Amino acid sequence: MERERIKYYLASISEYELIKAKEHPGYKYVNAWALAKGLCIKAFHKYYNRYKEGLFDESLLLPGYRGP
């Protein structure tokens, strides 16, 4: 399950960067893309920024451990 989540976010990140570079063939705006994929843009940005700041470490795409 963790590997699937990482694959999903990596694919989403590559699409997001294409949209930001204005090179995506299907979407012009991030909001339209997020709505079509059913993504919460706030949560996506949280993981995207964590991934970028961590020098593209894939393990940062997983939720952090919450517990005692």
Amino acid at 42: K
In-domain check, residue 22: yes
Range of the domain at 21: 2-61
What average pLDDT does this structure show over 48-60? 72
Return d(Cα 16, Cα 41) in angstroms, integer.
11
Domains of the chain: total: 1
pLDDT tens readout for residues 10-39: 888 889 989 999 999 999 999 999 999 898
In-domain check, residue 67: no
Return d(Cα 38, Cα 50) in angstroms, integer.
21
In-domain check, residue 66: no
pTM above 0.85, yes or no: no
Give percent of the chain with pLDDT exceeding 90.
25
In-domain check, residue 7: yes
In-domain check, residue 41: yes
